[in-house]
């Protein structure tokens, strides 16, 4: 284990060398071969610019914008840019948050606290909505009404309208969804919410920064932003397709009155009066300055170009999937996601391992009622130069997968596992038995994914929580 508090200090050069050495165990954040977690525009010099900007504002504290007007100015600029991109008007206001989950949490909080008369507030979402809504509902004690999506993987506006009741404080949908990259019918959903005087949030955290550019490039995508009547708020992550370093998202509200219940204020203690728009109080200015630098450096024309490159990569990858026996596209490739399923003898989870062994790091998605397991590829601009190699490697990975044959679910093990039976000792022995390296780089995951795929959601949660707890030690 690293000694984070050595008896005497370590020279700066050595500390940096150690950090670089640690990073060698990670998946590659650049190069267009990691299809989740990271967003790489492959723009020379952009990382250096973001790092320099981060350093300038790292010690500025967002706790009090009157003490640090630089941060206020930067945040207002980011909100203004997001509003301009997403159909905002003169009344639009927003908040810079630390990420998509925080933006969604705050959208739910604002909706809940705007309706104090509702004892048991409820939130209506399609089944493809991001898990952060479930987290928000859990943290804020809001009941979740999950409405199955249609066969085309999009939210069902009629079913969502039918799910709205007197206690519904918010209806939400995605533009686009993370798992499949498809845009929900926001116009119809927002109209249904508005007709019941209920707020409607659009989760554009994932693709919000790229959708407007795809539309400008001619993509036939439906309206999804604040220009749609009935949309009351929208979230957009700058650390995704705006290509800013991690830690920046924006939550926009149609007007100030809608945003006010989002704030937390407390003056009833002997210290400073705390007024926070978001979850954290002390916040570093670093990520915000870095995001501003990235936006200003790329500019509107830069983002249009990156969207074009991303689409070219999507088209190349999708063609590779269509040309390869044993796999097929699972969802329409209308935005920046390629989602594929296995066919015939191909074991999807073995395929993910075979791709990883060839340096293509994808994200397996487990089965969900009415949906088979899939492999998810988040495609960014950096993928374009790597994409042409993908077809041959996918074919080779499928061939190797077929040669290995499917992984069998250990039925006796599955039968013995229940959420209640999970103990730290059981998790440790399972991890060892399945060859999971604790603290090492990720190895083959097919056996683990097969087990998780066969497990019900509560068991998946218990197993993965136990494993994370095992990793996070002490
Ligand atoms: C659609 C959508 N919403 C919300 C989130 C949560 O964002 P974050 O991981 O920044 O908290 C994500 C993350 O992938 C997302 O895709």
Distances (CA, A) of 35 to 228, 270, 371, 387, 451: 31, 49, 21, 11, 23
Question: Which atom of ligand 1 approaches the CA of 129 most closely?
Answer: 1
CA atoms within 13 A on the CB side of 94: 32
Q: Which of 138, 116, 134 is nearest to 125 (CA)?
A: 134
Q: Is any atom of ligand 1 closer than 6 Å to the C-beta of 142?
A: no
Residue 411, pLDDT score? 86
Reported as a pLDDT band with limits 50, 70 and 90, residue 209 is: very high
Residue 125, pLDDT score? 99
- The pick from 104, 127, 130, 247 for probing ligand 1's pocket by mutation, whose C-beta has the most ligand atoms within 8 angstroms, reads 130
Sheet holding 93-97, edge to edge: 93-97, 249-253, 233-237, 199-203, 168-174, 122-126, 143-147
Residue where the block lists tokens 């041959």: 392
Beta strands (DSSP E) in 29-101 are 93-97
pLDDT tens, 302-333? 999 999 999 999 999 999 999 999 999 999 99
pLDDT for residue 436 is more than 90: no
Peptide bond into 163 cis (omega under 30): no
Q: Which of 295, 307, 297 is nearest to 79 (CA)?
A: 295
Residue 434, pLDDT score? 85
Reported as a pLDDT band with limits 50, 70 and 90, residue 472 is: very high
Residue 278, pLDDT score? 98
The protein residue with its alpha carbon nearest to ligand 1, atom 8, reads 100
Q: Is any atom of ligand 1 closer than 6 Å to the C-beta of 178?
A: yes
Helix or strand (DSSP H, E) at 157: helix 157-163
Q: Is any atom of ligand 1 closer than 6 Å to the C-beta of 100?
A: yes
Instruction: Report the distance separating Cα 250 and Cα 236, nearest Å.
Output: 5
Instruction: Report the distance separating Cα 61 and Cα 71, nearest Å.
Output: 8
Helix or strand (DSSP H, E) at 344: none
SS3 90: coil
Helix or strand (DSSP H, E) at 88: none
- Distance in Å from the first CA to the final CA of the chain: 10
Q: Is any atom of ligand 1 closer than 6 Å to the C-beta of 207?
A: no
Query: In this prediction, what percent of the chain has a pLDDT beyond 90?
Result: 94
pLDDT tens, 219-271? 999 999 999 999 999 999 999 999 999 999 999 999 999 999 999 999 999 99
With vertex at residue 312, the alpha carbon angle to CA 347 and CA 219, rounded to the nearest 5 degrees, is 105
- Give me the long-range contacts of 146-153 (CB less than 8 A, separation at least 24): 148/369, 148/370, 152/182, 152/332, 153/128, 153/177, 153/180, 153/182, 153/331, 153/332, 153/371
Strands 199-203 and 233-237: parallel
Mean pLDDT of the chain: 97
Distances (CA, A) of 260 to 97, 299, 336: 15, 31, 34
pLDDT for residue 175 is more than 80: yes
Task: Please check whether residue 215 is in contact with residue 339, taking contact to mean a CB–CB distance below 8 angstroms.
Answer: no
- The pick from 237, 244, 363 for probing ligand 1's pocket by mutation, whose C-beta has the most ligand atoms within 8 angstroms, reads 237
Q: Which residues are paired to 172 by β-bridges? A: 201
Q: Is any atom of ligand 1 closer than 6 Å to the C-beta of 283?
A: no
């Amino acid at each position: 284990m690293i000694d984070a508090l050595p008896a005497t200090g370590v020279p700066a050069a050595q500390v940096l060398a150690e950090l670089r050495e640690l990073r060698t165990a990670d998946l590659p954040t650049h190069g267009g071969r990691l299809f989740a977690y990271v967003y790489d525009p492959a723009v020379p010099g952009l990382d250096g610019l973001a790092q320099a900007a981060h350093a300038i504002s790292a010690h500025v504290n967002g706790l009090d914008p009157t003490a640090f007007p630089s941060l206020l100015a930067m945040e207002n600029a980011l909100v203004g840019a997001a509003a301009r991109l997403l159909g905002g008007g003169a009344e639009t206001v927003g908040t810079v948050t630390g990420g998509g989950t925080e933006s969604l949490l705050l959208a739910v909080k604002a909706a809940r606290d705007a309706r104090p008369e509702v004892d048991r507030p409820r939130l209506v979402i399609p089944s493809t909505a991001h898990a952060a809504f479930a987290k928000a509902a859990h943290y804020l004690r809001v009941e979740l009404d999950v409405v199955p999506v249609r066969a085309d993987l999009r939210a069902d506006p009629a079913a969502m309208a039918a799910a709205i009741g007197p206690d519904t404080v918010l209806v939400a949908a995605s533009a686009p969804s993370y798992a499949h990259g498809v845009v929900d019918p926001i116009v119809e959903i927002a109209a249904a919410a508005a007709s019941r005087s209920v707020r409607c949030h659009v989760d554009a955290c994932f693709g919000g920064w790229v959708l407007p550019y795809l539309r400008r490039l001619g993509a036939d995508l439906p309206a999804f932003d604040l220009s749609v009547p009935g949309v009351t708020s929208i979230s957009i992550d700058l650390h995704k397709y705006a290509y800013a370093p991690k830690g920046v998202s924006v939550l926009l509200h149609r007007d100030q009155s809608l945003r006010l219940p989002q704030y937390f204020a407390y003056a009833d203690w002997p210290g400073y009066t705390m007024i926070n728009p978001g979850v954290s109080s002390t916040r570093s200015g670093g990520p915000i300055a870095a995001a501003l630098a990235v936006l200003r450096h790329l500019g509107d024309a830069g983002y249009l170009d990156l969207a074009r490159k991303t689409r070219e990569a999507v088209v190349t990858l999708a063609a590779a999937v269509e040309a390869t026996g044993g796999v097929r596209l699972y969802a329409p490739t209308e935005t920046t996601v390629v989602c594929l399923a296995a066919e015939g003898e191909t074991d999807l989870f073995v395929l993910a391992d075979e791709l990883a062994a060839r340096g293509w790091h994808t994200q397996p998605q487990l089965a969900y009622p009415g949906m088979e397991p899939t492999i998810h590829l988040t495609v960014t601009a950096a993928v374009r130069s790597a994409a042409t190699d993908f077809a041959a490697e996918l074919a080779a990975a499928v061939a190797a997968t077929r040669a290995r044959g499917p992984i069998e679910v250990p039925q006796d093990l599955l039968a013995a596992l229940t959420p209640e039976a999970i103990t730290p000792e059981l998790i440790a022995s399972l991890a060892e038995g399945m060859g999971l390296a604790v603290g090492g780089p990720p190895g083959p995951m097919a056996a683990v994914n097969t087990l998780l795929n066969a497990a019900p959601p509560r068991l998946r949660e218990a197993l993965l929580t136990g494993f994370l707890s095992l990793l996070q030690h002490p």
